[in-house]
Structure 1
Amino acid sequence: MIRILLTEDQAMVRQGLKMMIETDSEMIVTGEASNGKEALELCERNTFDIIVLDIRMPEMNGLDAARVIRTRWPQSKVLMLTTFNDYQYAMEALKIGANGYMLKDADSEALIRSIRSCLSGGLSLQEEVAAKVIPQLLKQTAVTSVDASITPRELVIIRLVGEGRSNQEIANELALSLGTVKNHVSQIMDKLELRDRTQLAIYAIRHNVV
């Protein structure tokens, strides 16, 4: 069962999101919080597979909570959820290391698909968000050559990560075992001194690999 912490300051919205998520029989909301501070307190006492965070909340917002979660509980995935279609929020979330960014107007299928993508190692960006974020990434950073230590096989894997593919999808496409792909991704991040897959995806975009 996939354990989810749902953090949203409006109770009615939170209950609606919970109902949407739990239409999937493999997902259960095992924790609810109304702000980032409460979310961190729940993380202290419980283990969650994924933490869904609203951006704007009282006491502690979702971005500040995500920074702490990525540092203290890196095994938990983070999905940012907001009504604000603003690339600056998404850019900040990606820099923090969030695994996905969705708008609240997404339907239940899109939300569940995004949660599964985050859990499988993919980078989930709603199309409207990606359309704003990717051009900004390209605009802000000059394209430079890929590190010389990267092998042709690793370059292909970087490209697929940049496209938002999960480890399983990469394994299927390249006819490799899941464990082999995980090892490749880990080695690539070590070579490039990157913290997580989100940073690797951004690296792929910045270096024109995608």
Structure 2
Amino acid sequence: MIRIVLADDQAVVRDGLSMLLGAADDLDVVATAPDGTAAVEAVLAAAPDVALVDLRMPGLDGAQVTEAVRRQAPDVRVLVLTTYADDDAVLPALRAGAAGYLTKDTTGEALCAAIRTVAAGGSVLDAAVQARLVALAGTPTPRPEIPEGLTAREVDTLRLVAEGLSNQQVASRLFVSEATVKTHVNHLISKLAVDGRPALVAWAWRHGVTG
């Protein structure tokens, strides 16, 4: 069972999402919060697997909640919901270490799938959010920019991580151990000087290292 803390400042959204997620056999909303401060408190009290947080809330916004959760409860994965894909808070949340970003016009099925992916260690970027992140970070290059110092296996790992695969899924595709994939990911984060896995995904898309 994947345990979830849900934070949104609109009661109707909280209630609707709680009903939607509660209908899934493997998802359990263990706490809800009406603002960012309460969201952090709920995460610390309930120790969920995933924190599903709105990007704009009173008190602490989604980026600040992400930063606080990553600092105080690093095992909790943060999935951010945003109304507008061009919201300037998306990039700060990325830097804070959120594992995924979805717009609120996503389907219920896609939301549940994203929660499962994030809980399993993967990352999720809504197509609209992904485009915004790439635009914020710079214009994509027509051909891949592979910096010197990356091994062929690290590049393979980067491409699969950029597709949103978890370490376990990458290991299966590359026929290596999950520990080896984790080592590759850590090396990539260090070599590319990015701040965490979602930032690594954004780097790969920005530099054409996908597909």
TM-score, with length taken from structure 1: 0.87
Equivalent residues in 2 for 1:1-210 (5 A)?
1-139=1-139, 146-210=146-210
For structure 2, the residue ranges without an aligned partner over 5 or more in a row are none
Deviations, residues 17-47 of structure 1 (Å, cap 9, x unaligned): 0111122211101111110111112233231
Say if 1:50 and 1:78, in contact at 8 Å, map to a contact too.
Answer: yes
The size of the alignment, in residue pairs, is 209
Q: What is the one-letter code of the residue matched to 1:186? A: N
SS in 2 for 1:88: coil
Percent identity between the aligned chains? 37
**Which segment drifts farther, 67-76 or 200-209?**
200-209
Q: Is the 8 A contact 1:78 1:99 kept in 2?
A: yes
Q: CA contact under 8 A between 1:121 and 1:197: conserved in structure 2?
A: no
Q: Deviations over 1:103-131 (max 9, x none)?
A: 22222101001111212222211122223
SS of match in other structure, 2:138: helix
Q: CA RMSD in A?
A: 2.4
CA distance in 2: counterparts of 1:85 and 1:192, whole angstroms: 25
Rounded Cα–Cα distance in structure 2 between residues aligned with 1:87 and 1:125: 14
The answer to which of 190-199 and 22-31 deviates more is 190-199
Alignment gaps of 5+ in structure 1: none
Which TM-score applies when normalising by structure 2? 0.87
Counterpart of 2:55, as a letter, is I
Structure 2 SS opposite 1:209: coil
- Cα deviation for residue 186 of structure 1 reads 2.7
Give secondary structure in 2 for the equivalent of 1:139.
coil
